[in-house]
A and B are shown apart, each in its own frame.
Chain A
């Protein structure tokens, strides 16, 4: 679901749960953001290396192929992508500690309120 133009800020949603991906898309697009989904870290990394520059990456942790922490490590190792803002969005019980350990720009704990989601995304994508 894309918005009305290429100037709209892009939010990358990385989650292996297609339903969560779909509903994040629904929630963010209807609020005016553009959304690109990825089913795992590898797919997201490929999109970023392909030139996509999101204002924020909403990142799940537990995923097949490439997990959230592996994605962050690969991102930080790539000078072109190291500055990308990443917010962990996970149902893991220790999400706050894990986010701090990964050095991400924020974290959200599933499940969460739509307003909390919007507030967080707005910090990175005005």
Chain B
């Protein structure tokens, strides 16, 4: 119907062309339109044979692939009609006042050797829309999306989030591979994973991978890599989706650090409160312990003073006055021992329990201790029996040994229920052994593990005073001397402490070496 003017007959070919859904236009070497079919008129919205080609761009509203208006006589149609071979070049036809145009895919071919060309074009709007939609989706996903070809692992696709993350434009990225942008180690890592995904034909998740970006420094990505297979199951592309988890991770770490800090502070606070509580208890106990000797001392001194002032001191029986003065002297010693204990706790706490080693006979130390406690033992009604037939000489601190034995024997007398206390000193091989046994109230089994702790008093506070420091100090002295202590006890049967002390040979050897 829209045939070349002057052609008398319609060939089968012309009928075929007229019935095609694709638009067809042909031009001769001079640019004259020699053929167009109804589909061409329909698709372009104007008759190409009636409208001069140099006005097509403007009148038909032709636009290039990127959507910009075509320059006069430079649309894909024009190029095809000049004989330029084209395959699937897209263009938009959108006349004035029309919002949504028609996307055409144009094929072009030369018509003859003399010139001229033929343009065949079809409506690809639906496909184009679908593609635009898909691109818009991919483009707007806030994670980096990339596609690599399966063979050379070159980038074929990139979205905006990827550009922003890596700091490169997709024009720089497309056609290149990881080695063009990342450190060798990173590129090796990425490429190894890519190959594994393609070989395994399975999705691979990389929970955390570091990546050096151009402008954002090192970021941490959570990446999924997915193989894209063709119909035969052959991997064609690799799809990557990477979420930048750097900030989230940092926030999590900061949260964890902050929680850990809070826990530490809480623990420190509780420890401090406990320390204060222990200290308060201790001060209360210590002041109670100090009150006993101070009271006796005060009564003794004030009574003597009162009698002396009245002038009646000489009327008292001499042994009564002597007894008061001796009591006063004993209180002064009790106070000195208590104060020394308190100082020891302070020294132990500061790690300054000093040991001055010298040659000592443990049997002699035991005899001294027994002599010192004799008066206390007599008052408690307990006999103190020492069995130390032979000298036991070692390399120890005599003052600390005396303190150790005194604390053990004091306890034996205090909790001994007025029954005998036995002390044995003997040498067993290279170890000195001291046992201190009483037949008193004993230590309940469940309390035995606690007795060497600070401020622990085994007995009930209602019946027995005491600082709760004696065995604690004993244990620390033994720690310093390399010795050990163990306890055997049964309720109402008595308690036996066994102390083993190395003779201090290592020390001696060390001294000999130096």
Contact = CB atoms under 8 A, between A and B. Distances in A.
Contact of A92 (B288, B303, B324, B327): B288
B358 interface: no
A23 B299 contact: yes
B300 interface: yes
A30 B462 CA distance: 32
A26 B462 contact: no
A1 B324 CA distance: 13
Contact of B303 (A23, A69, A70): A23
Contact of A62 (B299, B303, B306, B464): B464
A110 B292 contact: yes
Interface stretch (A2-10, A13-21, A45-53, A76-84): A13-21
Contacts of B461: 62
Determine which residue in B297, B299, B307, B462 has the highest number of CB atoms from chain A within 10 A of its CB, and name it. Answer: B299
B299 A27 contact: yes
Contacts of A112: 295, 298
Contacts of A93: 284, 287-288
Interface in A74-126: 91-93, 110-114, 117
A27 B303 CA distance: 5
Nearest to A114: B302
B316 interface: yes
Interface in A12-50: 17-20, 22-24, 26-27, 30
A117 to B, nearest CB: 8
Contacts of B352: none
A113 B462 contact: no
Contact of A110 (B294, B302, B331, B462): B294
A111 B298 contact: yes
Interface residues of A, number: 28
Contact of A20 (B296, B302, B324, B462): B296
Interface residues of B, number: 32
A95 B463 CA distance: 15
A63 interface: yes
A69 B461 CA distance: 12
Interface in B249-299: 284, 287-289, 291-299
B291 A26 contact: no
Interface of B is mostly: helix
B236 to A, nearest CB: 88
B379 interface: yes
B323 interface: yes
B316 A22 contact: no
B465 interface: yes
Indicate the member of B293, B295, B298, B463 with the most A CB atoms within 10 Å: B295
Contacts of B289: 91
B320 interface: yes
Given A19-B330, A91-B291, A93-B284, A113 B463 contact: no
Contacts of B292: 17, 19-20, 91, 110
Interface in B295-332: 295-300, 302-303, 306-307, 316, 320, 323-324, 327, 330-331
B300 A26 contact: yes
A10 B226 CA distance: 103
A17 B306 contact: no
A62 B463 contact: yes
A63 B463 contact: yes
Contacts of A19: 292-293, 296, 327, 330-331
A17 B298 contact: no
Nearest to B466: A62
Nearest to B376: A18
B11 to A, nearest CB: 127
B312 to A, nearest CB: 8
10 contacts: A17-B296, A20-B299, A24-B299, A61-B462, A62-B465, A91-B289, A110-B291, A110-B295, A111-B294, A113-B302
- Please name the 10 residue pairs, one residue from A and one from B, whose CB atoms are nearest each other, closest first: A91-B291, A23-B299, A114-B302, A111-B295, A19-B296, A110-B295, A18-B379, A111-B294, A110-B291, A67-B462
